[in-house]
Amino acid sequence: MTTGPAIPTVNLYGLTRSVYTRIARLVLQEKGVAYTLHEVEIFGPSGVPEAHRARHPFGRIPALEHDGFWLYETGAIARYVDDAFTGPSLQPVDPRTRARMSQVISVLDSYGYRPMVWHVFVERVGQPLRGRAADETKIAAGLSASAQCLDALTALAQWQPFALGADLTLADLHAYPMLCVLALAPEGQALLNRYDGLRHWLEAMQARSSVQGTRTLYEAQPPTARQT
């Protein structure tokens, strides 16, 4: 009796609400890879679980395990999943377009993530849900830095229909979770409304099944019911 090839086992360790965990999940879902998400709370009062430090020595998320192969850092995970599994390619073949994809991702990591997520979203949405006052100074600084990042992104990429043109790439999947949470803050949405291309791109991305399948509690629940 013959059997088919074993189904690869992919385990992802992170948090459903995490921007970077969502990036990895979007890539896995766009590639059609079955995986198991293991929730790892790294922000609790006890800090990073010791078991997780064996997966990621810096205590960040996500980390990925595939048939005994361990990997951390979201960019490395995304590229590995795209290269290791069949399905639509998420990386351009043309060297210049691929370089632009990497540049967009780097800009988001270096100049977008902290102001968009921690200074705007966390302060305006997350802190009030914890019963704490938002830091208006952080929000103002975050909006200014976010605008600078969005200016750069619109200069680097066309965002119609996707970031780099006709095909979905890792740049889109890296950008969506960050811009999504920015838009959950009223000031963030107002800022994004100034960029027609990015706003239309964000709306189109929201209809993708991978995005629908990875919605966070912040998107899935009305504001009064959200929790952090």
**What's the average model confidence in pLDDT over 141-169?**
98
Residue 224: what pLDDT?
Answer: 37
Residue/partner pairs of 105-109 with CB below 8 Å, 24 or more apart: 105/75, 105/170, 105/171, 105/174, 107/149, 107/152, 107/153, 107/156, 108/149, 108/153, 108/174, 108/175, 108/178, 109/75, 109/174
**pLDDT computed for residue 8 by the predictor:** 60
Exposed/middle/buried for 187, CB within 10 Å: 0-12, 13-18, 19+?
middle
What does the angle CA 139 – CA 141 – CA 142 come to, to the nearest 5 degrees? Answer: 60
| 208 pLDDT more than 60 | yes
**Residue 7: which pLDDT band, with cuts at 50, 70 and 90?**
low
Average pLDDT over residues 14-35: 97
Residue 223 has pLDDT above 70, yes or no: no
Least confident among 42-46, 108-112, 166-170: 42-46
Mean pLDDT score of the chain, rounded to an integer?
Answer: 93
What is each CA distance from 167 to 30, 118, 147, 155, in whole angstroms? Answer: 12, 30, 26, 18
3-state SS class at 220: helix
In the prediction, which pLDDT does 9 show?
Answer: 86
d(CA 43, CA 52): 12
Residue 113, CA distances (Å) to 107, 118, 178 in order: 9, 8, 6
CA 95 to chain centre: 24
Res. 220 pLDDT band, cuts 50 70 90: low
Q: Is the pLDDT of residue 2 over 90?
A: no
More confident residue, 224 or 182: 182
Q: What is the pLDDT of residues 53-95, one digit of tens each?
A: 999 999 999 999 999 999 999 999 999 999 999 999 999 999 9
> Would you place residue 165 in the very low, low, confident or very high pLDDT band (cuts 50, 70, 90)?
very high
Tokens 């999943």 appear where? 81
| Claim: this prediction has a pTM higher than 0.85 | yes
DSSP 162: B
Q: What percent of the chain has pLDDT over 70?
A: 93
pLDDT of amino acid 105: 98
Confidence of residue 228 (pLDDT cuts 50, 70, 90): very low
Q: Is the separation of the CB atoms in 146 and 116 below 8 Å?
A: yes
